[in-house]
């Protein structure tokens, strides 16, 4: 029987925790007894997530725009001061863009890279000091199948997720000797608000559920055996593959 990590009382920071995959991961890790810092721009959405955990007093609601340096500074100060550390970082917040290549503005490209790549980069960098003090330090980055394959009208989004994959794989190697696990979960179409924007051509039927992604996140955090999971790709079981 493999020994699993007891997450009771451990601390996680989850971006984009007010909806979709981020909320599902928050609820799943709360079930394990974790204390959570819930990050997103909308306080209302984050408070709803905190309420749904059934333990709102153990949850920190941090309404923040993570594409600003000030926002990330504030989050890290609160993690140090209030939570006195960090065990698990989940870089989940992200945006999609479904746009023909030539119509994708420079500003839209910068915006998607700021949220999907630079924010996780800065959060990983700023979190390492705290993660080094943990006995189960883990980073999970939420990628996408677009990190592995090109899709029509998805150049900017695919570029951002390819970049996040490169960051994840390199960081994983750089810190594995210190016991810090860095993973990427790359789902296909998940049934959230985002999918309507990213892939209006897909029907909700047979879509991956956010809870399926959350279950894998919980697995990665609780299983720290000798085998390290490099990355997980999730495809829909039905219809066309790679969607
Ligand atoms: N749905 C899919 O099919 C799918 C497939 C593969 C990968 N993914 C990835 O999964 C992740 C979560 O997406 P989702 O499907 O759950 O979509 P979602 O419900 O739209 O979640 C995105 C979250 O990011 C937060 N966010 C956006 N901009 C932010 C900012 N500047 N600062 C802080 N938080 C911000 C949003 O909250 P606020 O608006 O309140 O800030 C929202 O809670 C993304 O990285 C996405 O690329 C999704």
pLDDT tens for the chain, 243 residues: list them: 778 999 999 999 999 999 999 999 999 999 999 999 999 999 999 999 999 999 999 999 999 999 999 999 999 999 999 999 999 999 999 999 999 999 999 999 999 999 999 999 999 999 999 999 999 999 999 999 999 999 999 999 999 999 999 999 999 999 999 999 999 999 999 999 888 767 777 777 889 999 999 999 999 999 998 888 888 999 888 656 555
CB under 6 Å to ligand 1: residues? 15-16, 18-22, 39-42, 45, 65-67, 92-96, 115, 142, 144, 187, 189-190, 192-195, 198
Structure pTM?
Answer: 0.97
Nearest CA to ligand 1 atom 7: 144
Residue 119 Cα, ligand 1 centroid: separation in angstroms?
Answer: 13
**Quick check: helix, strand or coil at residue 138?**
strand
pLDDT of residue 182: 97
Query: Looking at the domain assignment, is residue 153 inside a domain?
Result: yes
Residue 209 Cα, ligand 1 centroid: separation in angstroms?
Answer: 14
* Tally of structural domains, the chain: 1
Query: Looking at the domain assignment, is residue 1 inside a domain?
Result: no
CATH number of the domain to which 111 belongs: 3.40.50.720
- Cα–Cα distance for residue pair 128/146, rounded to 1 Å: 27
Query: Looking at the domain assignment, is residue 242 inside a domain?
Result: no
- List the one residue out of 243, 113, 230 whose CA is nearest residue 187: 243
Query: Looking at the domain assignment, is residue 80 inside a domain?
Result: yes
Query: Looking at the domain assignment, is residue 2 inside a domain?
Result: no
pLDDT of residue 227: 86
- Helix or strand holding residue 20 (H, E): helix 20-31
33: domain range? 11-234
**Active-site residue, 191 included:** no
Residue 225 Cα, ligand 1 centroid: separation in angstroms?
Answer: 30
Query: Looking at the domain assignment, is residue 86 inside a domain?
Result: yes
Nearest CA to ligand 1 atom 35: 40
**Residue of 20, 145, 208 to test ligand 1 pocket, by largest number of atoms within 8 Å of CB:** 20
pLDDT of residue 239: 56
pLDDT of residue 198: 72
Residue tagged 């819930």 (tokens): 38
Q: Name residues whose C-beta falls within 8 Å of residue 26's C-beta, 6 or more positions apart in sequence.
A: 14, 17, 36, 38, 49, 53, 59
pLDDT of residue 241: 52
Q: Print burial letters for 173-198: b (CB count within 10 Å at least 16), e (below 16).
A: eebeeeebbbbbbbbbbbbbebbeeb
C-alpha of 87 from chain center: 14
Query: Looking at the domain assignment, is residue 133 inside a domain?
Result: yes
Query: Looking at the domain assignment, is residue 5 inside a domain?
Result: no
């Amino acid at each position: 029987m493999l020994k699993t990590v007891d997450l009771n009382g451990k601390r996680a920071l989850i971006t984009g925790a007010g909806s979709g995959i981020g909320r599902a991961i928050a609820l799943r890790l709360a079930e394990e007894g974790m204390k959570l810092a819930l990050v997103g721009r909308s306080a209302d959405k984050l408070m709803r997530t905190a309420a749904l955990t059934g333990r709102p007093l153990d949850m920190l609601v941090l309404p923040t725009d993570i594409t600003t340096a000030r926002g990330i500074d504030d989050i890290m100060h609160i993690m140090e001061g209030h939570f006195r550390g960090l065990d698990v970082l989940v870089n989940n917040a992200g945006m999609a863009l479904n746009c023909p290549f030539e119509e994708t503005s420079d500003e839209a490209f910068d915006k998607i890279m700021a949220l999907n790549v630079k924010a996780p980069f800065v959060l990983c960098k700023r979190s390492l000091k705290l993660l080094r003090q943990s006995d189960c330090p883990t980073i999970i980055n939420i990628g996408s199948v677009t990190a592995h394959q090109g899709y029509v009208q998805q150049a900017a989004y695919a570029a951002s997720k390819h970049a996040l994959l490169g960051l994840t794989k390199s960081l994983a190697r750089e810190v594995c000797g210190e016991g810090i696990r860095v993973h990427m979960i790359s789902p296909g179409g998940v049934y959230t608000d985002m999918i309507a924007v990213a892939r209006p051509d897909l029907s909700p039927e047979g879509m991956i559920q956010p809870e399926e992604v959350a279950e894998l996140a919980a697995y990665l955090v609780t299983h720290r055996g000798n085998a390290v999971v490099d990355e997980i790709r999730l495809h829909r079981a039905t219809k066309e593959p790679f969607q």
